[in-house]
Amino acid sequence: MTRSHLIFDSSIGKQKPETIVNRQNPCPFCNVEALTHIMDQKDSIIWLENKYPVLQDAFQTVIIETDECTSELSLYSKEHLHKLIDFALEKWKEMQENSEYKSVLFFKNHGPMSGGSLRHPHMQIVGLKNVDAYRELDERQFEGLTIHEENGIIFNLSTLPRVGFFEFNVHLKQDGEQTIFADLLQTAVHYVLHHFHRNCTSYNLFFYPLRNKEVVVKILPRFSTSPLFMGYDIAQVSNKLSDVVHQVQELYFSQKK
């Protein structure tokens, strides 16, 4: 029988520090001298083992994105953004090539509704030894209304979202330009935090490996999850998709026309 559930170690989970709500708590990622089990580093970007491995039968790692604790992906300079995405994709690929893992997750949490616990900007790469996270992946969930397309990169808004309402996707084709992929990812995050909804302070990024060596990142604005999805696994899609597409195009791409 294929494993579909991960075992969460609650005894480790209750030890994890929390700085999203309790900002007065010390941030462990700011104390670089005390970090252990560092696997690689590029300037202020650090890849290390997760000190609190709450998932059993998994290898959990963290990428600290910057030494600026209060910064955020939408604020990075292009130089730092490109360096970060190049570094993170390289480490994800490195773990994917390890036959020890059945699948490798690559994701980011930001904000109080995202499921994260630390404010300091970071991503996570997790190798799962017994669970295939992509076994029931439906690639139709990455299709949608095109917002922008450039040099092998497609930025769209899902017409069949995984969870519901509004989900942005940025596709990186095998021959696509990775810097543009990073730029459009940053554009999506900036829109979500600054123009999408005045109460939106949280998002998740989920990276997926698709066929033909294509990579797609899904950007999910986070609010309270719909009870229809929680109880019945029924996603909803807004009837305002076209309005959002036009707004993003006007805000970020009208000068390119």
Q: Would you say residue 76 has pLDDT above 80?
A: yes
The number of beta carbons lying within 10 Å of the beta carbon of residue 49 is 14
The per-residue pLDDT for range 46-63, each reduced to its tens digit, is: 999 999 999 999 999 999
Which token pair is 214? Answer: 């294509």
The number of beta carbons lying within 10 Å of the beta carbon of residue 162 is 15
Question: Over the Cα atoms of the chain, what is R_g?
Answer: 18
Which band of pLDDT confidence, cut at 50, 70 and 90, is reported for residue 187? very high
Work out whether strand 103-110 and strand 203-209 pair parallel, antiparallel, or are unpaired.
antiparallel
Task: Tell the CATH superfamily of the 15-128 domain.
Answer: HIT-like (3.30.428.10)
Is 0.85 surpassed by the pTM of this model? yes
Return the beta strands (E) in 159-198 as ranges. Answer: 164-165, 168-172
The per-residue pLDDT for range 79-88, each reduced to its tens digit, is: 999 999 999 9
The H or E element containing residue 47 is strand 45-49
Return the beta strands (E) in 58-143 as ranges. Answer: 58-64, 103-110, 122-128
Q: Would you say residue 1 has pLDDT above 80?
A: no
The per-residue pLDDT for range 122-146, each reduced to its tens digit, is: 999 999 999 999 999 999 999 999 9
CA distance 133 to 121: 24
Domains of the chain, by residue range, sit at 15-128, 139-202+210-253
Which token pair is 130? Answer: 């017994």
The number of beta carbons lying within 10 Å of the beta carbon of residue 75 is 16
Q: Stretch 29-58: mean pLDDT, rounded?
A: 97
Q: Give the residue among 203, 195, 185 at the shortest CA–CA distance from 250.
A: 195
